[in-house]
Amino acid sequence: MCLCPQLSDQMVELFDACQQKTSDLERKEACRARLQKDIQSIYAVARLYLTGSSMNGLGCRSSDADLCLVLKGNVSISDSVLLYVEMTQLIRAKVPILKFKEKDSDLEFDLNINNTVGIRNTFLLRSYAYADLRIRPMILVVKKWARHHQINDASKGTLSSYTLVLMVLHYLQTLKEPVLPSLQRDYPDCFYPFMDIDMVPEGPKRVPPYISRNQSPLGELLLGFLKYYATDFRWDKQVISVREAKALPKDNSVTWRNKYISVEEPFERNNVARAVHEKIKFDAIKAEFAQSWRILQDKKDLNSILPVGAII
């Protein structure tokens, strides 16, 4: 067993330097409130929620702000938001996304309409993020590592940040001595999938910290994470389920058949890793896990897989 004190310290240092600051969140929140007020002058019942890493405790200073506009009835994007913001891009995906920037700043927004599962999973992830002090640094380092190795971009056929977060949580849930439980299993009332959306942000407030018998330092967890996906996880046979805190056997349904990577959305149970649909990208992802595990095991220095100086 390697306690890797230097590696653990480097991870905490990177987390301290890169994590979202209170002032970053306040700026996003001010923009959300202003926009909500504008939209409510037309749609009085409209609500605008900040989601994603800005809200779930897993954000960096450079993270964009994800927004979900909750509107009742049939409203098209052109009927509503376009009147109020300067659009930079409209992504016509399964869940259309409107991209825009705050005027005269570098603050970027990604807005969807009525994709309320994003609100539910944001507050589920937030509960995991704060369940143990090691979770937030661990996930931030993994996101930075994946971004550096160019395997963190769903629009280019690799892993979304959301997929990466679920992969880390799964690893921590399935250790012999788990670092995390299934919060949906242990606190079903806090994460009831059909809870009124206004009540969802209350859920995490009722979840106490998890006291794990596993007190492995961060460096050991990072090495274990890389090793798990480099050598243990069966990509062709297993589905990652954070909802059940285990790997489920892949069945032959359309959701999982012929998918390179299978990661279950904790509420909707579809595959959040469906962007990885080319073998070449899948191979590149696996190769990064294998190579980084080998290097880090040898060097025990975060800089060997992620040039910390360049990132901070």
Sign of CA dihedral 10, 16, 17, 19: positive
265 binds ligand ATP (CB under 6 A): yes
66 binds Mg ion (CB under 5 A): yes
58 binds ligand ATP (CB under 6 A): yes
Q: Which of 8, 10, 63, 182 binds ligand ATP (CB under 6 A)?
A: 63
Give the relative orientation of helices 5-18 and 135-148 as an angle to the nearest 10 degrees: 80
Between CA 63 and CA 254 the distance in angstroms is 33
Between CA 229 and CA 108 the distance in angstroms is 32
127 binds, among ligand ATP, Mg ion, none (CB under 5 to 8 A by kind): none
Between CA 55 and CA 124 the distance in angstroms is 11
Between 24 and 66, CB nearer to ligand ATP: 66
Tell me the closest approach of the beta carbon of residue 220 to ligand ATP, in angstroms: 24
Query: Residues 6 or more apart from 219 whose CB is under 8 A from it?
Result: 2, 3, 4, 5, 6, 7, 8, 10, 11, 300
- Specify the stretch interacting with ligand ATP by CB under 6 A; choose among 42-50, 160-168, 210-218, 252-260: 160-168
Between CA 225 and CA 222 the distance in angstroms is 5
CA dist list (Å): 302 to 38, 79, 114, 309? 46, 49, 40, 11
Between 122 and 182, CB nearer to Mg ion: 122
Q: Which of 59, 137, 204, 219 binds ligand ATP (CB under 6 A)?
A: 59
Q: Which of 272, 276, 305, 308 binds ligand ATP (CB under 6 A)?
A: 272
- Specify the stretch interacting with Mg ion by CB under 5 A; choose among 66-74, 113-121, 146-154, 242-250: 66-74
Between 53 and 182, CB nearer to ligand ATP: 53
Between 154 and 248, CB nearer to ligand ATP: 154
Tell me the closest approach of the beta carbon of residue 120 to ligand ATP, in angstroms: 8
R_g (Cα) of the chain, nearest Å: 20
- Helix (H) / strand (E) element for 124: namely helix 117-129
State the residue for tokens 């259309």: 96
127 binds ligand ATP (CB under 6 A): no
3-class secondary-structure state, position 50: strand
24 binds Mg ion (CB under 5 A): no
Burial of 297 (0-12, 13-18, 19+ CB in 10 A): middle
161 binds ligand ATP (CB under 6 A): yes
**Per-residue string for binding with Mg ion, 42-61, x by CB under 5 A?**
----------xx--------
59 binds, among Mg ion, ligand ATP, none (CB under 5 to 8 A by kind): ligand ATP
Between 4 and 113, CB nearer to ligand ATP: 113
Between CA 148 and CA 65 the distance in angstroms is 21
Between 47 and 294, CB nearer to ligand ATP: 47
Site residues, Mg ion (CB under 5 A): 52-53, 64, 66
